[in-house]
Amino acid sequence: MKNKAMQKNKDEIPEEFETIEQIQDFWDTHSTADYWDEMEDVEMELSPTLKSKIELRKLYHLLGLSNEQVVSIENEARIENIDSKKLISKWVLERLE
């Protein structure tokens, strides 16, 4: 019952926003959880560069690396002129030998 009462009092999502700031203001004061049933799935294609960066961030997260460790890895990769993922793989393989 409380959920229905809350839904009746929620603001409608505007059909259009005139500025980015209006979008930010709206979502700064509203929860997407209240509008989940109105959300639509979207498909998007990421550039290879962005896709690679996301995969790398997932790897860092999976490995439980701190920001400081990530910075160190990225600096070392720059020095060795290889990407960070290859550097991590190299280190793992060296350790297994």
Report the number of distinct structural domains present in the chain.
2
Cα gap 77→86, rounded to integer Å: 8
Q: Is residue 29 part of a domain?
A: yes
State whether 55 and 30 are in the same domain: no
Cα gap 29→24, rounded to integer Å: 9
Q: Is residue 16 part of a domain?
A: yes
Residue with the bigger pLDDT between 5 and 34: it is 34
How many Cβ atoms are within 10 Å of 84's Cβ, its own excluded?
Answer: 19
Place of tokens 């700031």: 21
> What letter represents residue 43's amino acid?
E
Domain containing residue 69 = 48-96
Q: How confident is the model at residue 10 (pLDDT cuts 50, 70, 90)?
A: confident
Q: Are 65 and 73 in contact (CB under 8 A)?
A: yes
Q: Is residue 60 part of a domain?
A: yes
State whether 52 and 31 are in the same domain: no
State whether 33 and 56 are in the same domain: no
Per-residue pLDDT tens digits for 56-84: 999 999 999 999 999 999 999 999 999 99
